[in-house]
């Protein structure tokens, strides 16, 4: 009996010593994410290969505001992205339409550019120039949409209003033909918030072939519908009130003295602007609209916010705080200047392209969500 006890106890001791240093552990792979942010700005190793940088960097040497221009992407503003890649095996092909023009002045061209990796933009080409009588010498804020076998390009005009051009080379989208006039935006108008002609169009197409237009006016964002993509009728986001309501408006101003420590002032207490919208089905099968927008604050800054909606009509619900921006994209006074977002979704992650313009400079920034996801340069 004694002969057995010691070996058995020895076995217990030896086995106890088998515990090893643990790995980091998993359990958090492929988690659900709405891919609506918050977005993290791509970092140096994700956008630069040696000395060649293809996007914005995080506090690069020699800059105080965290932005640099793209050597591989010409100066541009207000992008609109079309996804061409699958997101697998580094296939991140995108086509980007953006406005271009002299620094500090309204843009007069819309360019098309491509990137095989969503960062190295090549094949830059003007596809639209201001020239039609109804354009007032300026065009911008493009919104690209695939409709059938063509690309439809909605854009804002310098004369006030929204116009459309359709590609004549199918989904290549390099050659466009403009409509004879701007789109029609009919229906009751609420002058309390719709104080300016519509601008910054974002259009989605429903399964039944109809279109929903989101546009900025004054300090709010409104919605309209159309059966053909040309003649739109305004939608009331809240039929329970006697007037036409926008889908979102600016946040109420907050007295800084009333805020708890660490809580930021609203990033959109002056205006909401530049909508970018997509429509899809949630995992529960619900129709969901995802709206990214520019939030402008009363301190002169701007950041990107997010709002969502279930169903094809009604108000959007905002998420607290911005999802892209902050000091990284700030001016020397520390005010963020991220605006005019567009989002490319690649399976389990999304890239946001946004203007990072300070005093109407022409820079684009790229962010990624989920924030833990990283990209590598090919």
Binding site for other proteins (CB under 8 A): 1, 3-5, 8, 11-12, 15-16, 18-23, 25-34, 36-38, 59, 61, 64-66, 260-264, 282-284, 286, 288-289, 306-310, 316-319, 327-328, 330, 332-334, 348
| Nearest distance, CB of residue 142 and other proteins, angstroms | 26
Residue (36 or 107) nearer to other proteins, CB: 36
**Least gap, CB of 269 to other proteins (angstroms):** 17
291 touches 275 (CB < 8 A): yes
Nearest to 48 by CA among 371, 373, 358, 366: 366
Nearer to other proteins, 233 or 371 (CB): 371
Q: CA angle, corner 217, sides to 215 and 218, nearest 5?
A: 155
Q: Minimum distance between the CB of residue 92 and other proteins, rounded to whole angstroms?
A: 20
CB-side neighbour CA atoms (13 Å) of 204: 17
Q: Which is nearer to other proteins, 25 or 133 (CB)?
A: 25
Q: How many residues does the chain have?
A: 378
Closer by beta carbon to other proteins, 66 or else 222: 66
Question: Nearer to other proteins by C-beta: 96 or 235?
Answer: 235
Return the number of the residue (288 or 355) whose C-beta is nearest other proteins. Answer: 288
Tokens of 115: 């990137």
| Tokens, residue 194 | 């719709």
Report in angstroms how near the CB of residue 23 gets to other proteins at its nearest.
Answer: 7
CB 347, min distance to other proteins, A: 10
Minimum CB separation from other proteins for residue 170, in Å?
33
CA distances to 180, 219, 236, 244, 345 from 288, rounded to whole Å, are 34, 24, 18, 22, 15
Pairing relationship of beta strands 349-356 and 364-369 according to DSSP bridges: antiparallel
- CB nearer to other proteins: pick between 19 and 180: 19
Q: Name the nearest CA neighbour of 355 among 335, 341, 374.
A: 341
Cα separation of 45 and 377, whole Å? 7
CA distance 198 to 1: 93
**Which 8-state DSSP code applies to residue 324?**
B
Q: List, as one string, the DSSP characters of 95-159.
A: EEEEEE-STTS---EEEEEEESSSSS-EEEEEEEES-SGGGTT-EEEEEEEEETTEEEEEEEETT
Q: Are 212 and 203 in contact (CB under 8 A)?
A: yes
Q: How far is the CB of 342 from other proteins (least distance, A)?
A: 19
Taking the least distance from each CB to other proteins, the nearer of 16 and 240 is 16
Q: How far is the CB of 227 from other proteins (least distance, A)?
A: 25
């Amino acid at each position: 009996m004694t002969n057995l006890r010691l070996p058995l106890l020895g076995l217990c001791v030896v086995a106890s010593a088998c515990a090893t240093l643990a790995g980091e552990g998993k359990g958090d792979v492929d988690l659900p994410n709405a891919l609506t942010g918050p977005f993290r700005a791509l970092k140096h190793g994700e956008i630069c290969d040696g000395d060649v940088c293809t996007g914005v960097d995080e506090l690069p040497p020699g800059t105080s505001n965290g932005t640099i221009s793209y050597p591989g992407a010409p100066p541009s503003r207000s992008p609109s992205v079309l996804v061409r890649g699958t997101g697998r095996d580094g296939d991140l092909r995108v086509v980007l339409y953006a406005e271009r023009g002299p620094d500090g002045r309204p843009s007069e061209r819309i360019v098309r550019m491509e990137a095989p990796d969503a960062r190295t933009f090549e094949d830059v080409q003007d596809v639209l120039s201001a020239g039609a009588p109804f354009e007032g010498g300026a065009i911008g804020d493009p919104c690209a949409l695939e409709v059938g076998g063509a690309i439809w390009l909605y854009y804002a005009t310098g004369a006030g209003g929204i116009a459309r051009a359709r590609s004549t080379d199918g989904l290549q989208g390099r050659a466009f033909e403009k409509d004879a006039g701007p789109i029609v935006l009919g229906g009751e108008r609420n002058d309390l918030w719709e104080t300016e002609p519509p601008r910054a169009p974002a259009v989605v197409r429903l399964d039944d072939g109809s279109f929903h237009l989101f546009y900025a006016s004054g300090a709010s964002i409104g919605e309209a519908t159309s059966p053909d993509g040309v003649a739109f009728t305004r939608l009331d986001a809240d039929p329970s009130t006697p007037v036409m309501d926008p889908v979102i408006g600016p946040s109420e101003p907050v007295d800084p003295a009333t805020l708890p420590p660490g809580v930021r002032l609203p990033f959109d207490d002056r205006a909401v602007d530049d909508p970018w919208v997509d429509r899809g089905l949630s995992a529960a099968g619900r129709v969901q609209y995802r709206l990214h927008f520019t939030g402008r604050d009363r301190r002169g800054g701007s950041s990107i916010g997010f709002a969502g909606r279930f169903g094809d009509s009604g108000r959007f619900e905002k998420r607290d705080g911005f999802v892209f921006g902050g000091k990284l994209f700030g001016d020397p006074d520390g005010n963020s200047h991220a605006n005019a977002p567009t989002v490319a979704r690649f399976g389990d992650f999304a890239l946001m392209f946004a203007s990072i313009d300070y005093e109407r400079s022409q820079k684009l920034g790229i962010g990624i969500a989920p924030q833990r996801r990283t990209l590598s340069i090919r």
